[in-house]
Structure 1
Amino acid sequence: QVAAAPPSMAAPPDPQFVLRGTQSAVHALHFWGGAQEQGHQLLLSGSLSGLVHIWSLQTRRAIATLDGHGGQCVIWLQTLPQGQQLLSQGRDLLCLWDLAEGRNAVVDSVGLESVGFCRGSILARGQQRWMLAVPGGGSDEIQILEMPSKTSVCTLKPEADAKPGMPMCLELWQTDSSPRPCLLAGYEDGSVALWDVSERKVCSRIACHTEPVMGLDFDSQKARGVSGSAEKALAVWSLDEQQALQVRGKHELTNPGISDVKIRPDRKILATAGWDHRVRVFHWRTLKPLAVLAFHSAVVHCVAFAADGLLAAGSRDHRISIWSLYPRS
């Protein structure tokens, strides 16, 4: 029984195509822009069974399977700025893969002391170096590493009187005007905090949700972010020039539970992965609902946008749906 779409919304489209073959729930997706297979980009998926699949969007088949997580769920995938390397995060291990010329080999790894589901984040620091944020050893800690040397930069631990619980999602970024890295972290108590990594201090913390923050994304050009949680609302917040976060508004959802939220690279639209099996698409500036993508038959765990605007969604139903919506103008 699917409720009729409101009059303002056209009937939802069908996926452009569907990728099958993970044989396991899909928990992570990432478009690999640097790798062109006959001019077509590739899609990476991470599954509950611990495998990473590399998909050709041309043949719609997996062209390689990476097995480095010993059966532990893969929750985050990120290709590195220099192109031919991949980070994959399992429950207790982060693997660095060399994907050049089909080598597909683990060349390094970082043991994780956390057993949560908090995805890592990276920030390029020049051609060959990058900064990595991952959940830390203490349940409320975040560890910052310099990569690929794996040198510990610092551990970010909340102030003594703050009890935010575990970090649930992380986003490293820096402004064009300042070399100082910042970190946005969503926490178990529903708060979002902005850390100054160099100073190891929280610049600002806001209560966004009454439930753990499951996903967040940040538009550094508009200094505006969005987060989703187990509750029935998206929170939109902004960052002023004094590094203070402010809640801008809540957008009520039809059903509770957001696993992931992503802003498209052109900052026009936003997609959410829902516990209600739906992918919802919103206009980013106004948060007007644009589409409800009802294809999956179980929780949608992750969404990802390609540079050209293609949208992928991964679900507990073992399928990955690929959508072409609102073409980039």
Structure 2
Amino acid sequence: MVVPTPFYVLRGHSSSVTAVAFDKKNHIFSGDENGFVICWALLDMRPLQAWYAHSKSILGMEVIDNDILCTQSRDCRLTVWKMNFEKIKSSFSLSELSRMQSQRKAFSQTDLGMSNDSITVCSSIYINALTFCSFSYDKFAKVLAVSNTINVDEIDIYEAENLLSKNTNQGDHGTRLQNEIKPLMNNEKTGALMNTSFASSEEYLFLAAGYESGHVAQFRCRLSNVRNVCINFRDVWEMTYFEKSHSQPVLSVNYNRLGNALYSSGADDRIIQHPSSFDGVLHNELKVFRSKNCGQQCLQVREDDRIIATAGWDGRSRVYSCKSLSLLAVLKYHSSTINSISFCSDSNIIALASKDSRISLWKIY
């Protein structure tokens, strides 16, 4: 088995790093439990920009378009940011980052538009933060999936395209398309929604959900209907798959790039490949790998659909083959839980964000 080492470690956060995401322009974004976000340049590993995006812990972040970053926080806000890298004149030193965080002297969401022309708030809406479920975004359909405002076991779908426009008047609640999406099975209680994932084909949009009970569900919607506003989600979405495949809560679900395979990890020791109803036909069979390591917090599939990486409660990331689910490598560096992982597009770099306040960068296969 390969025993790799990180080629670089980013140190700039003063608290647990809870989210990490690459863009396609050699930048990496990281957010922590205090709501602090740092943008790093991969070419020289320097912090280019830093700000308090939220008042509480960041649950998730994703680069959803060119220079557009979306962040979600426990402060019940989902915010879309526009980055203008041409107006960033110099990078920060690590001592400046430390001072900003210790004194909480950084641009906040309320004064950012007036104080910093390199970052602009496009929109910011209220969403549910009662669960640990982060948002999911589909770049093809341009919609967001978030936990329902009231019921923690249900999913809401929001229009995302108008959130990307600068100074769009969204009010406080955005544009909700469908709400209260959930499995409708007799005598089956799923508990809270834990994670979601999108995939698209030419005809359908697919939505996967993992639940506290260990269930995994899949829904599908015709792309022609995805922007239909409806009271009853069954007018648009149909459930195509429902299986209790984990013995503990599902912590992560993730489709591969093609959408013909769905993978999940949980608080138990299982890595599971689920059948996917790609184009209306179930592809692949249920495949279970017992890793003997419980608590794999986050799971990501690389764009080439060859490998999967997981983030472990034990401070280790494990790399698996998409085809066989066999263990290929263990990334051992962090001294505490890994909260988030991200693959860099068009490269073999992976970033691991940890509770120990560090971000490790690795080159894998």
Give the TM-score category using the shorter length: 0.7 to 0.9
| Structure 1 pair 125–234 and aligned structure 2 pair: CA distance change class (3 A) | closer
1:113 deviates by 2.4
8 A contact 2:148–2:154 mirrored in 1:
yes
| Structure 1 pair 135–100 and aligned structure 2 pair: CA distance change class (3 A) | same
- Partner residue, 2:100: none
1:158 deviates by 3.4
The correspondence of residues 1-150 of structure 1 with structure 2, limited to 5 A, is 9-10=1-2, 12-33=3-24, 36=25, 41-70=26-55, 72-81=56-65, 83-91=66-74, 92-101=76-85, 102=87, 103-125=118-140, 130-137=142-149, 138-149=151-162, 150=174
Q: TM-score, normalised by structure 1?
A: 0.87
Give the 3-state SS of the residue equivalent to 1:304 in structure 2. Answer: strand
CA displacement, residues 149-178 of structure 1 (integer Å, 9 cap, x when unaligned) = 4321101133263421211111122113x1
Distance in 2 between residues matched to 1:277 and 1:221, nearest whole Å: 30
CA displacement, residues 44-80 of structure 1 (integer Å, 9 cap, x when unaligned) = 111111111111122222211131211x111211112
- Partner residue, 2:214: 190
1:114 deviates by 3.4
Letter in 2 for 1:269: I
Q: TM-score, normalised by structure 2?
A: 0.79
8 A contact 1:66–1:104 mirrored in 2:
no
1:17 deviates by 0.5
Structure 2: unaligned runs, 5 residues or longer = 88-117, 163-173, 226-235
8 A contact 2:252–2:265 mirrored in 1:
yes
CA displacement, residues 205-226 of structure 1 (integer Å, 9 cap, x when unaligned) = 1112011111121125261121
Give the 3-state SS of the residue equivalent to 2:177 in structure 1. Answer: strand
8 A contact 2:271–2:325 mirrored in 1:
no
Distance in 2 between residues matched to 1:26 and 1:253, nearest whole Å: 25
Distance in 1 between residues matched to 2:281 and 2:211, nearest whole Å: 18
Give the 3-state SS of the residue equivalent to 2:294 in structure 1. Answer: coil
Letter in 1 for 2:71: S
- Taking only the aligned residue pairs, the percentage that are identical comes to 28
Distance in 2 between residues matched to 1:263 and 1:160, nearest whole Å: 29
Distance in 2 between residues matched to 1:230 and 1:245, nearest whole Å: 26
Letter in 2 for 1:139: V
Letter in 2 for 1:159: L
The correspondence of residues 111-260 of structure 1 with structure 2, limited to 5 A, is 111-125=126-140, 130-137=142-149, 138-149=151-162, 150-155=174-179, 156-159=181-184, 161=186, 162-176=188-202, 178=203, 180-197=204-221, 198=225, 199-221=236-258, 223-240=260-277, 242=280, 244=282, 248-260=286-298
8 A contact 2:198–2:205 mirrored in 1:
yes
8 A contact 2:199–2:258 mirrored in 1:
no
Distance in 1 between residues matched to 2:256 and 2:128, nearest whole Å: 30
Whichever structure has more strand as a proportion of its residues is 1
- Deviation >6 Å, runs of 4+: none
1:98 deviates by 1.2
Letter in 2 for 1:63: L
CA RMSD of aligned residues (A): 1.8
CA displacement, residues 182-207 of structure 1 (integer Å, 9 cap, x when unaligned) = 21111111111111245233222111
| Structure 1 pair 141–246 and aligned structure 2 pair: CA distance change class (3 A) | farther
Distance in 1 between residues matched to 2:182 and 2:270, nearest whole Å: 28
8 A contact 2:82–2:119 mirrored in 1:
yes
Distance in 1 between residues matched to 2:285 and 2:129, nearest whole Å: 29
Distance in 2 between residues matched to 1:275 and 1:136, nearest whole Å: 27
- Partner residue, 1:297: 335
Distance in 1 between residues matched to 2:120 and 2:137, nearest whole Å: 21
Give the 3-state SS of the residue equivalent to 1:226 in structure 2. Answer: strand
Give the paired residue count.
304
Distance in 1 between residues matched to 2:45 and 2:184, nearest whole Å: 49
1:243 deviates by 5.2
1:105 deviates by 2.4
Whichever structure has more helix as a proportion of its residues is 2
1:124 deviates by 2.4
Distance in 1 between residues matched to 2:148 and 2:283, nearest whole Å: 24
Matched, 1:316 2:355: yes
